[in-house]
Structure 1
């Protein structure tokens, strides 16, 4: 999104809900443009199912995900205490959230991802990325499920 709009990610994240939702509709077109000439290559997109704009939690609509034509979904979760610690050490401007608030947000993110998988008929793998090979394992499981299904 940052590259598509040429705007700092902090500004994109903290915008009003209506603008954030409108921006999500640009993702599919931006991805199509990125993929020109690379249509046969696999692409891993790091995206969020919910966006905390400092005032509310905004769910990314299914249509925004549909527009990216995904073949599968991987949801990475982390213990809320670890997320809070990472945010304290991160130089990026992030909303200050308690572990309880982060736990709630994790639940919402999971529910939203599960709805994407259900509505779009996609495999979804949920796990943590605590070790270097965890993400690769989740991706391989998702690809295997996609081949079977």
Structure 2
């Protein structure tokens, strides 16, 4: 039985995100609603900015398709994986933006549940952003 590469990368990251969410649920019960809504607004801004940067990075990468490095990456399948993982990261960041906007409309107990979902998506998205950033830095350094 084979395990997909996506599952091998997703499962440890999901475990870390679940642990951080559990810590929030355990220690975050004392946060006031206003503070959580303020944090959600900041998270929405940061996630939106990161989403924009990733979309720009993919656009820049497609602009240099004529380079030898990109041609070799396409032949070996690394380019396809880079783009797929970047779109996965973009999807997670979009989920973070949506979850943070929804959490602005809740109060009390529902706010804590919505914020727990936001923390889970945010941690998962950040872990994917770190990997995407590392991959893009390798490609950009090789293009220089």
State the TM-score, normalizing by the size of structure 1.
Answer: 0.28
Of Structure 1 and Structure 2, which has the larger fraction of its residues in helix?
A: 2
Relative contact order (C-alpha < 8 Å, sep 6+): which is higher? 2
So what's the TM-score if we normalise by structure 2? 0.29
